Structure 1
Amino acid sequence: MRIMYTNGNIFTMNLEEPLVQSIVIEDEEIIDLGTNEDMMLQWGRDNTTVIDLDGKYAFPGLIDSHLHISSVGINAQELDLTGIESKEKLLNVISNKARLIQPGEWILGRGWDENIFPDKQIPTIEELNYVSPDSPLFLPRVCGHAFLVNTKALEQSGYHDKLSVPYGGTVVTSTETNKPTGLLLETASTIITDRIPIKSYEQLKHAVKWGLEDALRVGLTGIHTNDPTYLNGAKQTYKLFNELINQEGIGPRSNLLMDYKYLEELKDAGMYAGYGNNKVMIGAIKFFADGALGGRTALLSEPYADSSGNYGNAMYEKEELLQLMRNCREFDMPIAVHTIGDQALIDVLDNLDKLKPVAYRDRLIHVSILNDQLIERLKSPNRIIDIQPRFVPSDYPWIVDRLGESRANLSYPFKTLLEKGVITAGSSDAPIEPLNPLLGIHAAVTRKKIGENHNGYNEAEKLSMYKAFKIFTVGGAYATNEENMKGTLERGKLGDMTVLNKNPFSMECADELLETEVEMTVIGGVIKYRK
């Protein structure tokens, strides 16, 4: 099938033909592009479907290079605690939910953030027990690295004070009573999650479908998504995405990051990096090297400024992590490592330097705190970093308290990374941050919260609008070694486009992005979403 999109302002992100009016796509690939007159003369025959863009603005399809799309869908079915502005309101939401469900039924949700509470105090376990006396609850923080639980949840997990907590995790206890406070950190969450009832296949499929459709609504033609922990394993994850995308035609192209614990399952299933097709493909093996700044579990080379002697948490001993990475290399798998603190990144890079590259690039996810030496070490054609611009408005100004001003100024240095030649891809880490890529682009350009009246946090690291779009297009293609297939609109590449009602490159103020709407999401020439 041949489709021509005409009468548009089509920004190709290709310097040789930066702006065209029409583009022709056949069998998913771009076969020609140029002026309306030339394309109509060459291709405007009866067997070509012509779609009028009516002057709208088209771009290479936007790609989110790190998120958890199933969790986006699951969160839509559970308590959304994002943006709740006080401990009292959080407890009220839990109380209302507890009254609506049967005793013993789990209360699940995500998104609380004590940094936006006036007193920055999280609920105590006594307060959680009061609002949910009969139902166990498990509520991950917005970062996904700290968790609130009540006594019912601990009872169902079989917790006792002699219980062995997985390495890297902490059950926070009172200094006075030595009893749990209701806060778990990092891998300690597994003592609870292992006891939460497993969702049915149809429930999970519904959640993934919701997430994929939401991705199309916000203009995403590609996602790199990490889901098997939520979807009960690697094989089931692939099956769900294959059914929805390849068989039912729902959702953007999806590259599936698989957690290390599913490596053997991948081997047994005959799956490997690149397994699948250009719509659903197995990607890298995912590790966590450390935690997050919000809960002071990101691993730092110097202690936290607001927690004397606390360097954060390593998820593995350095040598153990090296062995796990070697196990991946025996299977020729690329590695994707969550590294937020600078010491975590140092440890990971030291290990990567001991390994030979494979066909696909290794990925460093977040890399929030950097210095000149680390940036030089990231400059490699075999490495790419996945950044989340929305972390800047979410983490400032409290990150200055965590790190001190000098280290905070070395955080999220997006412009420096690009100027130094580090291959960089943009992402949301949804549901931790909003899925909408235009919000990520806005954050990369402004480096401040929506509505704030200042020049931005560490404004020297602001990106231009063009470069911000580039990390969500070209960068996303490089992350999966698909730069010859997507990322720009050129002959021979996939016909994926995001069509907007406004031109971001002519905006006088970046806040106009907040009023910009997605008109169409086009994948392989086919309209998958239309406003």
Structure 2
Amino acid sequence: MRMLMLNGTFYTMADVEDTVEAVVVEADHILYAGNKKVAESYIEESDDILDLQGATVFPGFIDNHVHMLWLGEKLDRLDLSTIHSRQAVLKAIEEKVNTLQPDEWLIAEGFNDNQWDDTRIIDRLELDAISTKHPIVLTRVCRHALVANQLAMTLAGVTRETPTPIGGYIGKDDSGRLTGYFKDTAQELIKRSEPEKDVPYLKRMIALSVEHLVSKGLVGGHTEDLSYFGSESYEKVTAAFRAHIQEGRTPFKTHALVHHDVLTNYLLDPSKSEALPYYTFGAMKIFVDGAFGGRTAWLNAPYSDNATTSGLYIHEEAELEALIKTARKHHLAIAAHTIGDRAIETLVKLLKQYPSTSSLPDRVIHASLVSDKAIALMQDVPIILDVQPLFVSSDFPWVIDRLGEKRAQQLYRFNTLTQSGIPILGSSDGPIEDVSPLKGIAVFVNRRSIYDGKSYTKEEALTVYQAIESYTKKSAIATNTEATRGQIKTGYAADFTILAANPFHVNTEDLSAIAVKMTMIDGQIVYKNNAL
């Protein structure tokens, strides 16, 4: 059976403002895209007709860096990201504790001290005052830091004498007392003692995540989840995704990065080569540094608001080199978390030294503080950047204090990178940021802060077309599917993001308010906004 889609504006993304009048879908692909009269000739009486009633249609949007299982957990847990004061966070935790079963853990998501008037990190003594009978863990919005109460630390076996792991930080006061604050790799000391997460739990998180993602107009995502869920994490996570697909739940085109900690599990997995329509594997994931919020992004020079540190490297350079060589041995591309300028430069030099033999490109994830030197290095390497436009809105203006005015000019250089010929792909890093691509597009264009409403480094803004391209046509580069995905074109996948308004015609200040009318994956309507 075929389906005729008409009475909409279809942007093919082949070029700026390239549109067609109608589309014919057959099974999971586009049979024809073009003239309405020609399209109608493909349709018989028994076929379906989808009247879009003036909606605007794009190739299906892809989130090029997301954590689907963490997103599911955020949707399922106490969410602190919208609470804008320290005292209100503590009150929310106290109220939540009163609803728990005996000995139940309280794991809350997304506190953001940069939003508080009193920006002091919550101390474990304050959590102990709320409960000594429930382990409490508060994850920071960046997921590069957490705060734990004494019971959580006791269950994890953490004491004053616990050595700080490389690439991590264990908070202590001047007397040596543990404050409960853990950064980057040190977080694993606490997380390893959290309740075990089984396959049914992970399936539920996937289902929550997928329903949320498709409601935002997303048809797929490049996710990184495989190593974070206790013993046999790789096996449990892959089993949960496969079960989601095989049980016929809402489809979502998932492309999984393989964390280096589970590389052996991946290499020994006999099922990894099985053709699954909605689950594929990609590059090997490495963390090079941390984040600005906890001053763990690795910089060439010390932080402007704390001259005692230039951040953290997660791996010694020799270890980082060894990881890249291991990936190359197995013909894998690299996907590396890099935020600071030194982290980016160090990584790209090694990628140039050890070029990829994979069919997939190497990926620099975040690429936040990009020096001119880094841009020159990247121009010599086949590389793509998975960037998060919403970092602009949530990092400015406080990040200026972290880095200083001069360095802050080199943050999120989306236009400079584009003009330099380096592909940038739009993403959210969800649940770190909102997964709505419309919100991402708005910030690509406006570069407006959520804190003071000002636009920062406006010369680095993208056009609306460039912003949408980063979620559509350019996203196909990452999976080597440029010939089948990312455009509305004959033979391409029938994936569509259908919007209630035209992003090219609205005021740019209204881009984030555009409603998603419908989401289609392989010709199937997976989300419909019944209010429209």
Specify the alignment match of 2:401 in structure 1. Answer: 401
Q: CA deviation at 1:166?
A: 2.2
The question of whether the paired residues in 2 share the 8 Å contact of 1:98 and 1:132 is answered with yes
Q: CA deviation at 1:234?
A: 2.4
Q: CA deviation at 1:164?
A: 2.5
Task: Out of 103-112 and 13-22, give the one that drifted further.
Answer: 13-22
The question of whether the paired residues in 2 share the 8 Å contact of 1:246 and 1:280 is answered with no
Specify the alignment match of 2:266 in structure 1. Answer: 266
Query: What does residue range 149-298 of structure 1 map to in structure 2 within 5 Å?
Result: 149-175=148-174, 177-232=175-230, 233-270=233-270, 276-298=275-297
- Looking at structure 2, the residues matched to 279 and 124 of structure 1 have their Cα atoms a distance apart, in angstroms, of 43
Task: Out of 248-257 and 177-186, give the one that drifted further.
Answer: 248-257
Q: CA deviation at 1:35?
A: 2.2
SS at match of 2:154: helix
The question of whether the paired residues in 2 share the 8 Å contact of 1:379 and 1:423 is answered with no
- Looking at structure 1, the residues matched to 488 and 522 of structure 2 have their Cα atoms a distance apart, in angstroms, of 11
SS at match of 2:111: coil
Specify the alignment match of 2:424 in structure 1. Answer: 424
Instruction: Give the counterpart letter for 1:410 in structure 2.
Output: Q
* RMSD over equivalenced CA pairs, Å: 1.7
- Looking at structure 2, the residues matched to 96 and 248 of structure 1 have their Cα atoms a distance apart, in angstroms, of 38
The question of whether the paired residues in 2 share the 8 Å contact of 1:66 and 1:225 is answered with yes
Q: CA deviation at 1:3?
A: 1.8
Deviating 4+ runs (over 4 angstroms): 450-453
Query: What does residue range 289-368 of structure 1 map to in structure 2 within 5 Å?
Result: 289-357=288-356, 358-368=358-368
Task: Out of 202-211 and 22-31, give the one that drifted further.
Answer: 22-31
Instruction: Give the counterpart letter for 1:331 in structure 2.
Output: H
Specify the alignment match of 2:410 in structure 1. Answer: 410
The question of whether the paired residues in 2 share the 8 Å contact of 1:216 and 1:521 is answered with yes
SS at match of 1:172: strand
SS at match of 2:353: coil
Specify the alignment match of 1:523 in structure 2. Answer: 521
Specify the alignment match of 1:34 in structure 2. Answer: 34
Superimposed CA distance per residue, residues 149-197 of structure 1 (whole angstroms, 9 cap, x where no aligned partner)? 111111111112222332111111112x111112111111111111111
The question of whether the paired residues in 1 share the 8 Å contact of 2:170 and 2:182 is answered with yes
Alignment of 1:441 onto 2:441: yes
Q: CA deviation at 1:287?
A: 0.9
Superimposed CA distance per residue, residues 42-96 of structure 1 (whole angstroms, 9 cap, x where no aligned partner)? 2121353221111110001001000101111111221111021111011111111
Alpha carbons of structure 1 residues 275 and 333: separation in structure 2 relative to 1, 3 Å: farther
Specify the alignment match of 1:483 in structure 2. Answer: 482
Q: CA deviation at 1:322?
A: 0.8
SS at match of 2:58: strand
Instruction: Give the counterpart letter for 2:111 in structure 1.
Output: W
Alpha carbons of structure 1 residues 181 and 356: separation in structure 2 relative to 1, 3 Å: same
Q: Structure 1: which 5+ runs fail to align?
A: none
Q: CA deviation at 1:330?
A: 1.4
Alpha carbons of structure 1 residues 524 and 343: separation in structure 2 relative to 1, 3 Å: same
- Looking at structure 1, the residues matched to 187 and 463 of structure 2 have their Cα atoms a distance apart, in angstroms, of 40
Q: CA deviation at 1:203?
A: 1.6
Instruction: Give the counterpart letter for 1:186 in structure 2.
Output: D
Task: Out of 419-428 and 247-256, give the one that drifted further.
Answer: 247-256
The question of whether the paired residues in 2 share the 8 Å contact of 1:275 and 1:281 is answered with no
Instruction: Give the counterpart letter for 2:165 in structure 1.
Output: P
Specify the alignment match of 2:78 in structure 1. Answer: 79
- Looking at structure 2, the residues matched to 26 and 103 of structure 1 have their Cα atoms a distance apart, in angstroms, of 55
The question of whether the paired residues in 1 share the 8 Å contact of 2:449 and 2:456 is answered with no
Aligned-pair identity (%): 34
The question of whether the paired residues in 2 share the 8 Å contact of 1:80 and 1:111 is answered with yes
SS at match of 1:295: coil
- Looking at structure 2, the residues matched to 275 and 506 of structure 1 have their Cα atoms a distance apart, in angstroms, of 44
- Looking at structure 1, the residues matched to 219 and 344 of structure 2 have their Cα atoms a distance apart, in angstroms, of 30
The question of whether the paired residues in 1 share the 8 Å contact of 2:2 and 2:43 is answered with no
Specify the alignment match of 2:126 in structure 1. Answer: 127
The question of whether the paired residues in 2 share the 8 Å contact of 1:275 and 1:282 is answered with no
Specify the alignment match of 1:469 in structure 2. Answer: 468
- Looking at structure 2, the residues matched to 132 and 279 of structure 1 have their Cα atoms a distance apart, in angstroms, of 43
- Looking at structure 1, the residues matched to 45 and 228 of structure 2 have their Cα atoms a distance apart, in angstroms, of 48
Specify the alignment match of 2:379 in structure 1. Answer: 379
SS at match of 2:25: strand
- Looking at structure 2, the residues matched to 104 and 189 of structure 1 have their Cα atoms a distance apart, in angstroms, of 21
The question of whether the paired residues in 2 share the 8 Å contact of 1:80 and 1:110 is answered with yes
SS at match of 1:243: helix
The question of whether the paired residues in 2 share the 8 Å contact of 1:168 and 1:186 is answered with yes
Alignment of 1:113 onto 2:112: yes
Specify the alignment match of 2:136 in structure 1. Answer: 137
SS at match of 2:488: coil
- Looking at structure 2, the residues matched to 384 and 501 of structure 1 have their Cα atoms a distance apart, in angstroms, of 31
Task: Out of 59-68 and 7-16, give the one that drifted further.
Answer: 7-16
SS at match of 2:98: helix
Superimposed CA distance per residue, residues 249-282 of structure 1 (whole angstroms, 9 cap, x where no aligned partner)? 413211011211110001111366x764442101
The question of whether the paired residues in 1 share the 8 Å contact of 2:352 and 2:380 is answered with no
- Looking at structure 2, the residues matched to 285 and 302 of structure 1 have their Cα atoms a distance apart, in angstroms, of 29
The question of whether the paired residues in 1 share the 8 Å contact of 2:62 and 2:475 is answered with yes
Aligned residues: 526
Instruction: Give the counterpart letter for 1:115 in structure 2.
Output: N
Superimposed CA distance per residue, residues 310-332 of structure 1 (whole angstroms, 9 cap, x where no aligned partner)? 01000000010110111111111
Q: CA deviation at 1:231?
A: 4.4
Q: CA deviation at 1:381?
A: 6.7
Superimposed CA distance per residue, residues 205-225 of structure 1 (whole angstroms, 9 cap, x where no aligned partner)? 111111011111110011001
Q: CA deviation at 1:124?
A: 1.8
- Looking at structure 2, the residues matched to 401 and 387 of structure 1 have their Cα atoms a distance apart, in angstroms, of 22
Task: Out of 94-103 and 438-447, give the one that drifted further.
Answer: 94-103
